[in-house]
Structure 1
Amino acid sequence: FRFNTIPIGNEASKSQYVCAYLVAVANLLKFKVRPEKNVSGPNGHGPVDFAFVSIQTSKVVGITEVKDKDFLQGVAQNAVQCESALSNNNKRIFGIITDSEKWFFLECSLDNEGKPKFKLSKPMVVVYGDEDMEDRVKKVLGHIAWLLEEAQGLDEPKDENPKD
C-alpha cells in the first residue's frame, strides 16, 4: 500500500509525523520523548517542541524543533535551545530541525574555553510517496538512533577507579 501524496500542510500535522519518528527510535533505546518540555538556561527558557530525555539520568540529551517554513529561524531557535540545555551539566547535546521532510541534525558542545560550538549537518530528505521513501526514512531513523547512542555513551557513569 503506497500513498501517492501525503498532505502535510501545517506545523501541527508535521509535528505528528516527526513525533512518530522520535518515539520509534526512543522506544528502542533508554529515552523518553517529551513534547513541550521546558528547557532553561542563561540565554532563555521555555518549551521546546520535543525533547529526548534519558530514562537513567532524566537529562535532556536532544531537542527537536519542528518548522513549517523558515529553516534558518529553526536552526537559530534550536541552537539557543541546545545551548540552554547544555548549560545544565551536559557535555554535548543534539538538535534536530525538521519539517518532517527535510531533516537537519545539530551538535552542540563546549570548546576548550567553555564556549558553545555547533556543527550542522547537510539535510536528509524524505519524499513521501516516492519509491525510495522507505530507504530515506530508514536513514533518518538510523541517524536519530546513532545520535541517541552517542548521547547514551556520554550519559553512562565513568568508572573512576578501574580494577586491574
Structure 2
Amino acid sequence: MSTSTAEYDSCLVENWDTETLIDFLKEQNLKLDDKKHYDVLRNEEITGLSFLDMTEEKLRSYGFKGGPATLLAKEAKTLKEKLKRAFSSYRSLKEVLAKYGIDGNGIGTIRRFPPATYKLEDDDEELVQCIKEIKHRLGNMGTMLADSNEAMRCEYISAILHASLYIVKRITKKELTLAPQLEVVGEGSTGRVDYATKALEELICITEGKLHQVVMGFAQNLIQCESALQFILFASDGISCTSKNPLNIRFSEFALKEGLEEEKELHKNVKRVMEVIVGLLKDGVDVEKEPAMKKQRVKGYFEKE
C-alpha cells in the first residue's frame, strides 16, 4: 500500500480539534493572548488539519495583526515540515521493512515472537477499575464499529494503558509516565504519536490508535521509535511482531449487561491484552539500560517458539 506524505500528515492531526490546536500553540511560547488571538481561531473554527495550510495573508484576513500573523504562519510551516520529515522518505511499508533487512511488502513477512506476559488475577484492582471505565465509555459513546474514528478508539486505549501502567509501577516501583500526543524525534524521522510511555526522560514505548489504517500505523511506528509496544520487538538483528495471533477486544454495548457472554468476553480479552502490555512494559523497564540483558531477553523469546 502506497501512502503519500499528505495522507500521512492528515492522519497525524485528524483528531486535533480547535482547543487541542490552541493547547499545542500555547506550548510553543508564542506570547499570544487567549482572548485577543486564540479566540479568533475559535471563531473561525480552525482545527489542526486546517492550520497546516495557514498563511500570513489568510491569518490577516481573519483579523490578526502583522506580528501574530507572522508568528502563527511560521509555526504552521514549521509543524508541516516536521510532519513531512516523519514519513517523506518512505512511500510504502515495503521500503520501511527494507530498512530492517526484510524483503516483503506486508506485515505477514515479519518474523513472530511470543510476547512476555504478566499474569493478572481476575479481581486485580486496576483490571476491575479498567473494566468499569470501559463500560462507562460504552454507555456514553456506544458500540465501537469498524469505521469509528481514532478519537473514539483512543478513549478505550487510554483506559487500558493507564491501568496497565499503574500495574507496572506497582510491580517495578519505578516512576513511569504516559504522555499523549508526544512529538518523537529520531535520527531519521520526527512525528507525533498518540501515546508515549517514559521512564524519566527515556522513551520506553509508543502506542498508536490508528487500527483502521494498520499498515500505515505499523510503518509509522517502525520509523518513529525503535522500541517494544504495539507488539513490535526491536533488536540488533532485526524486528519481530505478534500479528500472527492478534489480540482483539470487541467494545459492544451488549457487554453492559451483567452475565451476558459479551460481558465475559470483554473481561477476558481486556485482561489478556493488559497481561501482554504489562509484560512488555515490565520487561522493557527492567532491561532497557542493560544491552547484554536485552540481547539475552530477545534470544529467550525465540527459544520459546
Q: TM-score, normalised by structure 1?
A: 0.72
Conserved? CA contact 1:79–1:95, under 8 Å: no
Alpha-carbon distance, 1:22 to partner = 0.7
Specify every segment of 5 or more residues in structure 2 that has no aligned partner in the other structure, as ranges. Answer: 1-131, 256-261, 292-305
For this pair of structures, how many residues does the alignment match? 134
What secondary structure does 2:228 align onto?
strand
Specify every segment of 5 or more residues in structure 1 that has no aligned partner in the other structure, as ranges. Answer: 84-92, 97-104, 112-116, 159-164
Greater Cα radius of gyration, structure 1 or 2: 2
State which of 231, 236, 240 in structure 2 corresponds to 1:110: 236
Partner of 2:180: 35
Whole-angstrom CA distance in 2 between matches of 1:153 and 1:119: 20
Whole-angstrom CA distance in 2 between matches of 1:156 and 1:46: 24
What secondary structure does 1:63 align onto?
strand
> What does residue range 21-100 of structure 1 map to in structure 2 within 5 Å?
21-28=160-167, 29=169, 30=174, 31-55=176-200, 58-83=201-226, 93-96=227-230
Letter paired with 1:107: L
The 3 A distance-change label for structure 1 pair 109 and 156 is: closer
Whole-angstrom CA distance in 1 between matches of 2:211 and 2:218: 13
Q: TM-score, normalised by structure 2?
A: 0.40
Whole-angstrom CA distance in 1 between matches of 2:290 and 2:180: 27
Whole-angstrom CA distance in 2 between matches of 1:73 and 1:145: 25
CA RMSD of aligned residues (A): 2.3
CA shift digits 1:111-148 (9 cap, x unpaired): 3xxxxx21111210112232411011000001000011
What secondary structure does 1:19 align onto?
helix
Whole-angstrom CA distance in 2 between matches of 1:110 and 1:39: 21
Alpha-carbon distance, 1:157 to partner = 6.7
Deviates more, 1:1-10 or 1:28-37: 1-10
Conserved? CA contact 1:82–1:95, under 8 Å: no
What secondary structure does 2:217 align onto?
helix
